[in-house]
Structure 1
Amino acid sequence: MTRYTVALLVGSLRKESLNAKLAGALVKLAPAEVSFQRVEIGDLPLYNQDDDANPAPQVVRLKEQVATTQGVVFVTPEYNRSIPGVLKNALDHGSRPYGQSVWAGKPAGVMGISPGAPGTSMAQQHLRNILAYLDMPTLGQPEVFLQAKEGLFDADGSIGEGSRGFLQGWMDRYVAFLGRNAA
């Protein structure tokens, strides 16, 4: 049985982040052959091309963590109808210097949760455009635009019964997609 390690990037720095909670619950749905590695992005310096030749230790860590994985899952909130700056900053760091992107070829999954009814649909649309440019094959269906509602999470932080089947279906599809697309 092939084992996969998947980088998990959460686009929120908030202590009580719904997206961090979703990421933690998602990991519990993974089969035994898939492990997730949470990648810290909140301590990255702002991207500056002048630093490409001598990246900060946090940037080196990000690139090394992503380089050792076979896929990436992004769990992102929506800020002003787009992705948070901290996530864009991480994507920029990982893609540089030109021609040395750690993202290229990594099968991606995208999801997010928000208090609003549209979930994180606009942020995900923008993120998918970026991932296409970064040469990351991205799972198209099912899309996950979650609205935070009572019962979405159980008391232990797992996905509640009402949404478990849907999110398990997403996980199953992502794992199959990962198997077809991992280098």
Structure 2
Amino acid sequence: MERPLKIAGVCGSLRQDSVNKKLLDLAKTMLPDNVEYEYVDYSDVPVFNEDIEQPVPESVQRIKNQVESADIILFATPQYNGSYPGNLKNAIDWMTRPGGDNSIFGKVAGIVGATPGQSGTMQAQLHLREVLSHLGIQVPAQPRVMVSGAYDMLDEEGNFLLPEVESNNYRKLLDELYKLAEVKSM
């Protein structure tokens, strides 16, 4: 029996009650039996500084191990000041360090995003896509999951109730990521 595919979920917001974390949680409910999910908590990762990269801090090594063991990285990003958050960039920078030890090169990644506003995190996703492409990460062009008005889509327990169109797009994105990851593993 083949090993299951593994997704590492990385949230651009560090807030405990983040709608983007909830969007990652929603993905877990959509996964088939042959796909595992692990959340990458990088809230304790220090700000990148070459002076402290040798030896690699324990919190950094933990997230590097998580993404290295994953076939797919699923990024959920809010949009702050027209881009993705600096803490997410910091985590990505650490994932590529120290030089010669890039934990995410060649991975397959998906990008989703939710916002209470109306932009659907479009600019943040475009900027993140550009950085990931520069790092040799394969990001499918379509479908895109950009949720606007996110607070209006939460039930009483705080779970997402995406409209059918958004939910279908999310499933299609996950399916595309599985296909790309399976091809890479051949």
User: CA offsets per residue over residues 28-65 of structure 1, 9 Å max, x none?
Assistant: 11111111110011110000012222121101111111
Q: Aligned equivalents of 1:181 and 1:159: distance in 2?
A: 33
Tell whether the 8 Å contact from 1:40 to 1:62 is kept in structure 2 after alignment. Answer: yes
Quote how far apart the aligned CAs of 1:180 are. 2.1
Tell me which moved more, 164-173 or 146-155.
146-155
Give per-residue Cα distances to partners, 1:125-145, cap 9 Å, x unaligned. Answer: 110111011111112100111
2:149 counterpart residue number = 148
Percent identity between matched residues is 32
Partner of 2:179: 176
Question: Are 2:55 and 1:60 equivalent residues in the alignment?
Answer: no
Give me the whole-angstrom Cα distance separating, in 1, the residues matched to 2:162 and 2:121: 20
TM-score, with length taken from structure 2: 0.90
What amino acid does structure 2 have at the position aligned with 1:173?
E
- How many residue pairs match? The answer is 183
- Residues in 1 aligned to 2:119 and 2:56: alpha-carbon distance in whole angstroms: 37
- Residues 111 and 161 (structure 1), Cα distance of their counterparts in 2 relative to 1, 3 Å cut: closer
SS at match of 1:13: coil
**After the TM superposition, which segments of 4 or more aligned residues of structure 1 sit over 4 Å from their partners?**
153-156
- Structure 2 counterpart of 1:74, one-letter code: F
Unaligned runs of at least 5 residues, structure 2: none
- Look up the match of 2:81: 80
SS of the residue corresponding to residue 28 of structure 1 reads: helix
Provide the secondary structure at the position in 1 that maps to 2:30.
coil
Q: Could you give the per-residue CA deviations for residues 105-162 of structure 1, whole angstroms, max 9, x where no partner exists?
A: 1100001001121111111111011101111111210011111347634556254453
The 1:47–1:93 alpha-carbon spacing in structure 2 relative to 1, beyond 3 Å, is same
Which residue number corresponds to residue 95 of structure 1? 96
Gaps of 5+ in 1: none
Residues in 2 aligned to 1:91 and 1:106: alpha-carbon distance in whole angstroms? 13
- Contact 2:12-2:87 within 8 A present in 1 as well: yes
Pair 1:138-2:164 in alignment: no
So what's the TM-score if we normalise by structure 1?
Answer: 0.91
Counterpart in 2 of 1:30?
31
Amino acid at match of 2:44: D
